[in-house]
A = this chain, B = another copy of it.
Amino acid sequence: MNDVIVAVDAMGGDHGARTVVAGAILALEGADISKIVLVGRESEIRQALDAANYDKSRIEVVHAEEVIGMNEAPTTALKSKKNSSIVVGLNLVKDGRAAAFVSAGSTGAVLAGGTTIVGRIKGIARPALGVVFPSTKGYTFLVDAGANVDAKPEYLLQFAQMGSVYMESLMGIKNPRVGLINVGAEREKGNMLTKEAYGLLETADLNFIGNVEGREIPLGAVDVAVCDAFVGNIILKYSEGFAKGIMSMLKEELMSSGISKLGALLSKRAYGRLRKRFDYTEVGGAPFVGLNGLVVKAHGSSNELAIKNAIKQCGKFIKADVVGKIKDKIDSNKSERTEDYGI
């Protein structure tokens, strides 16, 4: 088997190099990952490494002096900081020195850098952010969750194709059910974008089950839910706020009487398990689908566990050759279709 080498942005995320390094060391457990390349300020990385026990042959450090901040304008930052951890890390993927790059840094910079440095898969109009999130029945892959706020029907078709490949690789789901997020179940429902996208999706080589309404998504109606990044971002962040809101209201109500307080104490473990089901750290990272290499965005507030899972997830994607499979899917699709993807 080939070596599975993952480059990790040691400078990304809210908790600093120490957390990323600790997560990387945890990710060496098991055989998913052969080697991790930590990218960032060497002194900071070494300091974090020195405190830890790990197999020295499986961690490499590549120095990158600069850091792109969360609030910097992505394109400008990428141009002016050629020696930033994001640019250096993405170049490792481009040059084939790593099979994947994981960063908890600026989403915009990772996406823009991924597109310009690693490049798009030929035939893919727009890379997109895919996010795995929990439903009552398991997990749903939501794509696009953060890249293209103004999308075209052709983009949505490609998001569906790429989402299917990812969901199959990540969760082992054969022939994943694909749904188009829409305001009604009937095919004539929707806005201009979804009405046109419906036609493309139903004739494509996909397990397209039709439109899926907002209320069906948390209930696990589909494996892959397709939308533009405006809608995807709203769903993603709304879920965060809603879960937080409902838990705080529940707490308020539980604390409002002695008996329910006691009840809450007895049910404490059940609440813990519920929280865990909503915990982003369990899944780990969101892949930028459509790039000519694997680039995974970890949540900005990732702890060690989330970093570990984001890295380990790359092992699955690499073994399943998701990038290669997307290329195949897009190639075979292109030969069936004559439309221009606007590239």
CB of A254 to closest CB in B, whole Å: 5
A30 to B271 Cα, complex, angstroms: 42
Q: In the complex, are the beta carbons of B214 and A233 less than 8 A apart?
A: yes
Q: List, in ascending order, chain B residues with CB within 8 A of A79's CB.
A: none
Assess whether A270 is in contact with B263, with CB atoms less than 8 Å apart: yes
CB–CB A218/B231 < 8 A: no
With A190-B149, A191-B149, A249-B136 already in contact, the answer to whether A237 and B260 are too (CB < 8 A) is no
Considering the chains assembled together, what is the distance between the CA atoms of A317 and B146 in angstroms?
40
Could you say which residues of chain B place their CB within 8 Å of the CB of A216?
Answer: 241
Q: Tell me which residues across on chain B come within 8 A of A57, comparing CB atoms.
A: none
Interface string of A224-239 (1 = CB under 8 A from B): 0000111101111111
Q: In the complex, what residue of chain B is closest to A240 when comparing beta carbons?
A: B215
A270 CB contacts on chain B under 8 angstroms: 250, 253-254, 256-257, 260, 263-264
Is there a chain B Cβ closer than 8 Å to A335's Cβ? no
Q: Please tell me if the beta carbons of A262 and B266 are within 8 angstroms of each other in the complex.
A: yes
A interface bracket (residues with beta carbon within 8 Å of B): 35 or more
Q: Is the interface of A mostly helix, strand, loop or mixed?
A: helix
For the complex, what is the distance from the CA of A242 to the CA of B71, rounded to whole Å?
A: 31
- A234 with B181: CB separation less than 8 A: yes
Cβ of A223 to closest chain B Cβ, rounded Å: 16
Expressed in whole angstroms, the minimum distance between the Cβ of A168 and any Cβ of chain B is 24
CB of A277 within 8 A of CB of B257, answer: no
Which single member of B214, B218, B260, B277 contacts A236 (CB below 8 Å)?
B214
Which residues of A from 112 to 161 have beta carbons under 8 Å from B? 135-136, 146, 149-150
Contacts of A245 in B (CB 8 A): 135-136, 218-219
Instruction: Select one of B150, B249, B263, B274 contacting A267, CB under 8 A.
Output: B263
Q: Please, what's the 1-or-0 string for A201-216, where 1 marks a CB less than 8 Å from any CB in chain B?
A: 0000000000001111
**Can you name the residue of chain B whose Cβ is closest to the Cβ of A194?**
B230
Chain B min CB distance to A276 (Å): 9
Given A183-B230, A230-B191, A271-B253, check contact A241 B264 (CB 8 Å): no
| A-B CB contact pairs (8 Å), 27 listed | A136-B245, A136-B248, A136-B249, A149-B191, A150-B192, A183-B230, A191-B230, A214-B233, A214-B235, A214-B236, A214-B239, A215-B244, A218-B244, A218-B245, A219-B241, A231-B231, A238-B238, A242-B242, A242-B243, A243-B246, A246-B246, A253-B270, A254-B270, A259-B269, A263-B264, A263-B267, A267-B267
